Structure formats: C-alpha cells, structure tokens
C-alpha cells in the first residue's frame, strides 16, 4: 500500500511555493520522494526554501518566474523536461486576493486577480499537459478554495476565480483523462498562513471560522500536504475532475 503513495522518480512543479500552502504542498511531495521545483518571483528567497528541503535530504530546485508570465512558465517547463526527461506533476497554486467592498473594486484590480488566479492556471496547465500527454501520465492539481463552492462579501474577484478553477478542473479532466493525465483540485479552508495573518488577528472573523467549521479550528499549513501527495500518486489513479475539500467540513452544507 505504501508504494501507491510513493512519488519516487516523479518530477513536480509547484507554482507560488515560496511560502504558505504552496511550500507545504511542495515539501509534502518531496517527502514522498518527488524532485520538486519551487516557483515564485524571488529567486533568492526560493533558493533559501529549496535549501531547507535539500538540508533535510530531499530533492528540490527552483524555477523562478512570474506565474502570469506565459512565456516564462513555458520556458520553465521546457527546462525541467530537458533536464529530467519529464514533468509528472503540476500544482498550480499561485494566487492572490484583494478584500474591499465591491463598489470600491477597480476594473484593474479585478483583472489582476483573474489573470493570476484563473488565466495563469490555464496557461501553465495547458503547457504542462502538452508534455504529460507525450508520456501518457500526469497529474495536474489546482488550488481552489472553499470559495469554489461558497460566496463571501468583499471578495468578488477571488470568489469568481475560485469558482472558475472548479470549472477548469472539470473541463480539463474530461479532456485529458484518456491521455493518462488526471486533473483535480484541492479546496483549502482557512489555514494559518502568512496571507491570513490579518484575518487571524480579527477576533470576529476568527470566531466565525471556528463556529462555521465542524472541526472548530483553523488548519495548520502542513495539513494540506496529504491531499497533495494523494492526488499526485498512483493511489489517486481513478480520481479525476474532482475538487477535494480540505476545509474541516466547512462546505458540508454548501
């Protein structure tokens, strides 16, 4: 059974993995045996993160590029394939959010969120799939959200993009399944990450999260790693077009 979850010999690219959930998922894949490429815009910061993994005896390198840079993403994939022969796993995780009343959201802010949270997911997945189809094996995983199934005020663009990620997951899963490439998503609930520090400091919001979540607490970043390893492994060979909610049960009634 343990072999079904092993990622030994697999090569993975995780976008937005310099910190938070992206790094937690990348670390989980590396611990399962994968050679992981960390992505972000800051090469120096990425190298420091990769070094922490290598110091733990894991296989990690960096692939610095802006996730919205289609040319940069394609070049990174080509470099990984050229150096390692294949790209087996892509986790398209890079994302952002802007919290403000909808009447104050500018069109430029809307487009900025859509470009990173949705369009960048499509372009990097398309280019990764092109390589995976050649090998007749691949795992594409998108980071969705509880907002892929719910709605919240003051984050219209984020909510729309995360609903879009769910649709993209289903569409690509339907298209690439016969080529041996599965496409799934992970829908995180509320995790104690750097991005959520302002929310953690808001007692009313924290109380709402704990009340709404059946497990009654926020999640620790490493608690997302198991889902990433599962969906990347042979254990999930027949899981396709699915959004796996890792939310403590928040969306049970969504």
Residue 167's alpha-carbon distances to 65, 74, 142, 174, in angstroms, are: 26, 23, 11, 11
Span 112-136, mean pLDDT?
98
Tens digit of pLDDT for each residue in 142-181?
999 999 999 999 999 999 999 999 999 999 999 999 999 9
pLDDT of residue 195: 84
Dist CA 136 CA 129 (whole Å): 10
DSSP strands (E only) in 73-194 = 89-92, 138-143, 181-188
Query: What percent of the chain shows pLDDT beyond 70?
Result: 100
Task: Quickly count: other Cβ atoms within 10 Å of residue 52's Cβ.
Answer: 12
pTM summary value: 0.97
pLDDT above 90: residue 2: no
Catalytic: which of 158, 176, 190, 191?
158
- Whether 238 is a known active-site residue: answer no
* Mean pLDDT of all residues belonging to the chain: 97
- Specify the range with the lowest mean pLDDT, choosing from 71-85, 157-171, 194-208, 223-237: 194-208
252 burial (CB, 10 Å; 0-12 / 13-18 / 19+) is exposed
Which CATH number fits the domain 2-192+221-246, given the four candidates 3.40.50.11820, 3.40.50.720, 3.90.180.10, 3.40.50.1820? 3.40.50.720
């Amino acid at each position: 059974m343990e072999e079904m979850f092993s990622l030994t010999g697999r090569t993975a690219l995780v976008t937005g993995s310099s910190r938070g959930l992206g790094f937690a998922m990348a670390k989980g894949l590396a611990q399962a045996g994968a050679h992981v490429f960390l992505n972000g815009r800051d090469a120096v910061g990425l190298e420091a993160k990769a070094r922490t993994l290598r110091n733990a005896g894991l296989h990690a390198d960096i692939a610095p590029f802006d996730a919205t840079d289609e040319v940069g993403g394609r070049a990174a994939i080509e470099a990984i394939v050229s150096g390692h022969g294949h790209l087996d796993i892509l986790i398209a995780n890079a994302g952002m959010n802007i919290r403000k009343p909808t009447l104050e959201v500018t069109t430029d802010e809307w487009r900025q969120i859509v470009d990173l949270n949705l369009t960048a997911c499509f372009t990097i997945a398309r280019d990764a799939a092109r390589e995976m189809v050649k090998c007749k094996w691949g795992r594409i995983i998108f980071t969705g959200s509880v907002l892929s199934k719910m709605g919240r005020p003051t984050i219209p663009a984020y909510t729309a993009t995360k609903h879009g990620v769910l649709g993209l997951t289903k569409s690509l899963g339907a298209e690439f399944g016969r080529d041996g490439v599965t496409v799934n998503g992970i829908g995180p609930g509320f995790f104690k990450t750097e991005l959520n520090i302002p929310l953690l400091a808001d007692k009313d919001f924290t109380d709402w999260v704990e009340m709404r979540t059946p497990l009654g607490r926020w999640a620790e970043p490493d608690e997302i790693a198991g889902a990433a390893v599962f969906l990347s492994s042979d254990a999930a060979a027949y899981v396709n077009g699915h959004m796996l909610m890792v939310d403590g049960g928040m969306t049970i009634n969504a």
